């Protein structure tokens, strides 16, 4: 369990706080709007009506002892910038801030944000990727140029063992799991003698260009 504070309970901040709480984390939710704070109260460890641009009020919450703080304020760039600056000054080491655009991102990084979130852009990229790669059933963005995807095996993979396919050597791709659909089962870290079936989905990790080569096979 981690201790996380979420500052700003608009649509994005509300759902971040709720998801963190439902995952079993200790969540402190903060906003100036009493109605928003009341709405998140059932899904937080503590819900506080507070102006987060008050540095001393932030310090009093002991946020420097938390695992991270998410800053998700509205469209006023100056507010998120000031909050990130104060969080850095009071000793918060992990600050995740929502940015409105690239210039906003640059400023947030300068004042202490350790990770930048672009909700609309990131979701748009995920949707576009899912549409453009129909044989990839799910897409999770990782480090730059890397993907973790579920791929239906091409015909030449069928009835062959992972050892025979030797995907790591041939394509520099790792099969980290196999989802068997008939019967439904998840095989984590499949052994080398695992034989690929038509009803399997291969969960692969590798660079985008390497996985694209496999996707291009018939």
What CATH number does the domain containing 143 carry? 3.30.70.1450
| End position of a domain, from candidates 87, 118, 149 | 118
Provide mean pLDDT across the span 171-175.
Answer: 91
pLDDT tier for residue 31 given thresholds of 50, 70 and 90: very high
Of 91, 118, 145, the residue at which a domain comes to its end is: 118
83-133 residue pLDDT tens: 999 999 999 999 999 998 889 999 999 999 999 988 877 777 666 665 565
Task: Note the pLDDT of residue 217.
Answer: 85
- CA 61 vs. chain centroid, Å, equals 26
Task: Name the residue range of residue 187's domain.
Answer: 131-215
Q: pLDDT tens-digit profile of 121-147?
A: 777 766 666 556 555 545 555 555 677
The predicted model scores a pTM of: 0.62
Query: What CATH number is attached to the domain comprising 8?
Result: 3.40.50.720
- 55 within domain boundaries: yes
Q: Is residue 124 part of a domain?
A: no
Q: How many domains, in total, are found in the chain?
A: 2
DSSP label at residue 67: S
* Cβ pair 69, 94 in contact under 8 A: yes
159: left (phi over 0), alpha (psi -120 to 50) or beta: left
């Amino acid at each position: 369990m981690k201790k996380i504070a979420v500052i700003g309970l608009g649509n994005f901040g509300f759902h971040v706080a709720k998801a963190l709480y439902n995952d079993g984390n200790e969540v402190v939710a903060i906003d100036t709007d009493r109605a928003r704070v009341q709405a998140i109260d059932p899904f937080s460890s503590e819900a506080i009506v507070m102006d987060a641009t008050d540095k001393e009020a932030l310090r009093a919450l002991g946020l420097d002892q938390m695992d991270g703080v998410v800053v998700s304020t509205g469209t006023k760039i100056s507010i998120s910038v000031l909050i990130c600056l104060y969080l850095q000054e009071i000793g918060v080491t992990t600050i995740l801030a929502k940015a409105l655009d690239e210039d906003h991102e640059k400023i947030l990084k300068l004042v202490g944000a350790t990770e930048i979130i672009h909700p609309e852009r990131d979701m748009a990229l995920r949707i576009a990727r899912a549409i453009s790669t129909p044989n990839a059933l799910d897409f999770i963005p990782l480090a730059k140029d890397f993907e973790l995807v579920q791929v239906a095996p091409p015909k030449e993979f069928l009835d062959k063992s992972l050892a025979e396919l030797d995907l790591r050597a041939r394509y520099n791709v790792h099969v980290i799991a196999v989802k068997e659909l008939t019967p439904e089962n998840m095989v984590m870290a499949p052994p080398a003698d695992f034989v690929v079936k038509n009803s399997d989905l291969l969960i692969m990790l590798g660079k985008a260009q390497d996985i694209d080569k496999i996707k291009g096979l018939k």
